[in-house]
Amino acid sequence: MRKQQIESLRNSTLRVIVPSIAPPYVNFVNFSKDARDEDGHVPGVVIQILMEIGSRLQLTFEVIPNNISAESDSWGRAFKALQDKEADVLVGGSVMQHNGNSEVDWTFPFQYEETGMLIFSPKRGHKQAMLIVTDPFHWQVWILTAACAVVSAIVLHFMAKELANVNAERRFRALTSLWVFFSILVQQGITEKPQSWSIRVLLSFWWLASITLTATFTGSLVALFAVEKRELPFQDIEGLLRLVKEGQYSILIDSSSTEEANMIARSQLVVCEKLWYQMSVKKRVKYVDGMDKAVKFLVNSSGYVLLGPMTVLSYYAQRDCRLRLVPNGFLPSYLYIPFAKNSPYTSYFSERIQELVERGFIQRWIREYEDRFYQRHKCNMTGPAETFLEIGEAQGAFWVLIGGLTIGFTTLLVEMAIDYRLRRRTARDGSVAQNGWRFFSFFKDS
């Protein structure tokens, strides 16, 4: 812009209208110098942009009342105020519609944003019967451990067989060899120590492996019950569409800003077309006045997914640890600051915004806000667990005990049956031999 044009913009008052409070873009409405709240937060990125650029022109800002507390269609009222020349600039990150919304002017985009998905994530229930056995180790670990025991038992059997004539090594039968490795794995030890160094090395390294597995198993159990994991039912928009089709979830949207709904309706992506069909025809959508009310509804009502700007939803996810933000967004777009049509300030603000974006100031402001906010509200995928275990969580240990008792009792019956048969066979063989000796003695005496 020419210098004369810039001079004509100085020392004016811009009427601003705020459609909603949406951190980190609009944290609170305050255009005073060095505005801070009690936690040290700045008014928001959009207000910082306006104040930074406005300070170069010695501009002042007058806030036009928009009744933010009654947030129903507050964005629509704000845009209408721009169109009717009742306001000069809209304070908020807005998405340019497909026709460019020619009734207002748009600045250079200041932020790249995706549509995010926020859900209420209850804690995962530990109700599996064999949880204490299946969760610490994946099934591949159990299979690999069993395979190693079998292979080691075969190696031990043949090594003992070959070394029996070298240094009087004890012979291990196949089943005995397998039982040796099982005994070491469960820390029972062995009754007789091997004589050869090769077998000692084999058993020593198996013992080292077994104590490592035992320590890992114990640590996994501690981690399993020390924290409550919160798992996502889906990871992306395709997963959400599948659950919406199945009737497990419905869409929740802030009615004060229907940009997300409009973007889904206009999108030509197959997944968005199918999602819009579920929303418009199947009526699997609910509109709530205001983002704060939408989040409260999400917490108190199961089976809903709140759609909104990813950065804004991240703020709510960090404020309430019961909420989870799905990591993969969809329908990326740019955010702009709308001005009244043919505003003389649009070009100047666009150039300055482009300068701030290219020099990284806007990203730094967002990052500073996130760092300051996250230091006070830090949530992750885990939370503190209960101080006690329910029977549903600990029943796996009792099932293992019952299984061991059953196997031991069954083995006892088998051993008694085998011993009984051996005794009978021995008694029968002894009786036959004695009768044969008597028969032989009779003929000898005769």
Tell me: the pLDDT tens digits for 148-191?
878 887 877 777 777 776 666 566 676 777 777 777 776 666 66
d(CA 121, CA 439): 89
- Write out residues in the chain with pLDDT < 70, as ranges: 1-2, 4, 33-41, 67-73, 97-101, 122-135, 165-172, 174, 186-192, 194-195, 222-230, 258, 373-401, 404-405, 408, 429-446
Radius of gyration of the chain (CA): 38
Residue tagged 């009654």 (tokens)? 70
Element (H, E) at 260: helix 259-266
The angle that helices 361-376 and 346-358 make with each other, rounded to 10 degrees, is 70
d(CA 48, CA 78): 20
The confidence score (pLDDT) of residue 307 equals 93
Numbers of helices and strands, H then E, in the chain: 15, 14
Tell me: the pLDDT tens digits for 390-418?
666 566 666 666 776 687 678 778 878 88
Element (H, E) at 412: helix 391-445
CA atoms within 13 A on the CB side of 245: 12
DSSP assignment, residue 33? T
The confidence score (pLDDT) of residue 70 equals 46
The confidence score (pLDDT) of residue 311 equals 86
Query: In the chain, what is the greatest distance between 2 CA atoms, to the nearest angstrom?
Result: 152
d(CA 102, CA 341): 8
The confidence score (pLDDT) of residue 446 equals 45
Which of 207, 131, 219, 80 lies closest to 397, judged by CA? Answer: 131
State the amino acid at position 156 in one-letter form: L
